[in-house]
Structure formats: structure tokens, C-alpha cells
Amino acid sequence: MKRETKLMHYGRMPTPGPANPPVMRASTILHDTVASYKGTKLARESDDAVLSYGRRGTTTAHALAAAISDLEGGEACFLFPSGVAAVAGALAPFLGAGDHLLVVDTIFPATRTYCDTVLTRLGVTVDYFPWDTTDLGAYAKPNTKAVMVESPASQTYEVMDLPALCADAHARDLLVIADNTYGSGWLYRPLDLGCDVSVVAGTKYLGGHADVMMGAVAVKGRATAALRKHTHMTGQTIGPDDAYNCLRGIRTLGLRLERHEENGLALAKWLADRPEVASVVHPGLPGHAGGEIWKRDAMGCNGLFSVFFTEGFDAEGFVDRLSLFAIGSSWGGYESLAMPSNPEAGRQFPNTTRSGQMVRFHAGLEHIDDLIADMQASFDAATG
């Protein structure tokens, strides 16, 4: 079955019944007999979708987890109350005092903060490596346990060669954990490319409407048992209302991403020709760092891209004058966004060939003509 069709059938209820798995609110699940109670406890050890206790999710969350697991090509999927909680929950099961973790330098900033504060306090040492690394020989140590990657890079979108990196990491007996929020199971599937664990902030494209916080960790192979155990022991769970909203967002994931990609590429190309713009970073633009790898490994681009304005151009003034692009963190909702940022801050291997103020844009689902007219008007007001 084509994946577009599957989006419409995830969590389908027995008929006659509702199209969507209803919001099931529950902590205690009641039984009539001791045998039934004991049977459920036993069954949930081998089946994540057994209704046993609210913390293990009800049918609403089970339907969402099964959908994300399928999107990501996982054996199992566990849900978390935010993307950052999912990142933490994907790393912690595999690390303890005395262990060493390798992290790609272009990682999402909150992941870096978690590694440099919480993990180091627990006795884990953390080192960073450049995004284009495919041989970890210069970075791995005898106590290295895992590698954390993100492709394309946070805010600057350099594309990693995940198949090559994973082959090298596995030869060294290291687990590879990927942050796949950019691809969100639709554009990119790290588990298919050799990664052991794939994290998605469902807050972004899965929810898709800027109204849900959610994180998911999909897993397959030898990492599965440890991840399942750690998730349960740390009490990670999501509410049924959030699960419902996220599954509702997933119905239109494919359609939305088609438009996000179309609008993002059109804006990126239009901006690249402007005299006020020094460079545009977008994995679908010719000459992009790792762009040929993205073509090989991915199924498309999302609505994100970043613009480096020429030295001296008032980029913040330009953003302030936009009316269809609101200023804000996060992305992946239906709306267009702009966020000034300094992506190289805190990186150990910063790209020093770029200068000028950077603005990260998210192309929403508006009509492209209106988005371009909005930018045109803001440029006109700057020079006129």
C-alpha cells in the first residue's frame, strides 16, 4: 500500500465505529477477574499496545505510536511530552557514568545543552565532530558508546552521509541515534539508512498546527529492549488529547509537506537572487553542502531554509516589516515564520566563510504569490 493511503488508515477503528480512535482518558484499567489482571500484565511485556495502565498509554496513544513507528520504519515507538524529552529519553538508556558520547557539532542547540549539562553531570563525557565526518577514527575512544546525529543540520542544513557514518559506527560497535525532526518520517528515514534510533519532535510537522507538544522515539534492532525498559521506568507518557491531535495532524502530513516544500524552494530561489542576500542555505538548492546526498537519501525537502543577509543590511528591520511571517521559535505548523539567529554560536567547528545576519525562515501553507509579495514589500521599504 502506498504511504499516502496508509496516512488515512492509521488507527482505523472496527466498524460500525468512529473513523478516528477516540480520546480515551484513563489511569486505572478495571478487570473482573484476577486472571484477566495478571494476563494483561504478562501480555504487555511483549505487546506495547496492551491496555494495562494509563501511564503505558491508552488506545489513543497506542494508535499514534503505531503510526509513527510505521512512518519511521521502526519495530517500536515510544511517546514523550516534547521533542526535547524524546531526545533525552533516546540518549539516556544507552549511557552511564564513565561512558563517552559523540555528537555532531551541528546538532539542535537544546540537545547540545542536555548533553553538556545533564549527561556530563551524570559522568558521561561528550565530544563533538564535524557534520561531514564518515570515519569516526579521530573521535571515538575505547569507552565511546553512542553517536548522536542530526541531518540536515539544525538551522544550516548541511546533509550528513548517514549510511557511511552508520557503517563506520557499527564497525566500532557504537549505537547511532538520529534526530529526524526535519524529515519527520515522511521525507527521510534514518532507521532505513542504518541508524538504530530515530527521534522526532511531533510538535513540528506531525502535529502540524502549532498547537501540540509531542516527541517520539522510533527504534529497531538491538536498541529496542533497553529503550522500552528505560521509557517505562522513567514514567514517560503523553496525554490522550495530545495523542489525538497529533494523529489528526498526521492525516495531512504528506499533503502539507508537498506545499511546504514547494513554497520553501520558491522563496529560497527568489531570495538567492536578491542583492541584499549573501547566501541562502536550503538542501534542495544547487551547490548546497551535502545536497547530492540529500537527493540520494531523502524523498524531498520541508519548508525550512536560512538566509544570510549582506553585511550591513538591516535584517531585523526586514523581518519586522513582514506581515505574513510572524516572529517565533519552533516551526512545522501551517504558518510562515521568521527567526533571526546565530547558528554558529556554541559550535566547535563553525563555518567561518559566512557572515552577515542570518534569519531562519519557515515557509507556511499560504499562497506563494502572497509570501513573495510580502518579502518584496519589505525589501522595497528598506531601499525606497
Ligand X SMILES: *Cc1c(COP(=O)(O)O)cnc(C)c1O
Q: Which is nearer to ligand X, 310 or 330 (CB)?
A: 330
50 binds ligand X (CB under 6 A): no
**d(Cα 144, Cα 241) in Å, to the nearest integer?**
39
What is the four-CA torsion angle of 325, 149, 209, 308, rounded to 10 degrees? 0
276: helix, strand or coil: coil
CB of 110 to ligand X, least distance (A): 6
Q: Which is nearer to ligand X, 49 or 210 (CB)?
A: 210
203 binds ligand X (CB under 6 A): yes
- H-state helical runs in the chain: 3-9, 34-43, 59-72, 83-91, 109-114, 120-121, 162-171, 224-233, 240-250, 253-272, 291-297, 315-321, 368-383
Q: Which is nearer to ligand X, 177 or 213 (CB)?
A: 213
CB of 182 to ligand X, least distance (A): 7
SS3 sequence of 81-96: CCHHHHHHHHHHHHCC
- Asked if 101 and 115 touch (Cβ cutoff 8 Å), the reply is yes
Partners of 378 in beta bridges: none
Enumerate residues 6+ apart whose C-beta is below 8 A from 318: 276, 309, 359, 378, 379, 382
CB of 76 to ligand X, least distance (A): 20
Q: Which of 60, 156, 181, 302 binds ligand X (CB under 6 A)?
A: 181
Q: Which of 10, 108, 188, 361 binds ligand X (CB under 6 A)?
A: 108
92 binds ligand X (CB under 6 A): no
Q: Which of 93, 185, 215, 283 binds ligand X (CB under 6 A)?
A: 215
Asked if the peptide bond before residue 130 counts as cis, ω within 30 degrees of 0, the response is no
264 binds ligand X (CB under 6 A): no
> Total binding residues for ligand X by CB under 6 A?
15
Q: Which is nearer to ligand X, 87 or 375 (CB)?
A: 87
Site track for ligand X across 130-169, x = CB under 6 A: --------------------x---x---------------
Site track for ligand X across 332-351, x = CB under 6 A: --------------------
Largest CA distance in the chain: 79
**d(Cα 235, Cα 253) in Å, to the nearest integer?**
29
The type of residue at 115 is: C
- Residues 63-82 touching ligand X, rule: CB under 6 A, are 82
Binding site for ligand X (CB under 6 A): 82-84, 87, 108, 150, 154, 179, 181, 201, 203-204, 213, 215, 330
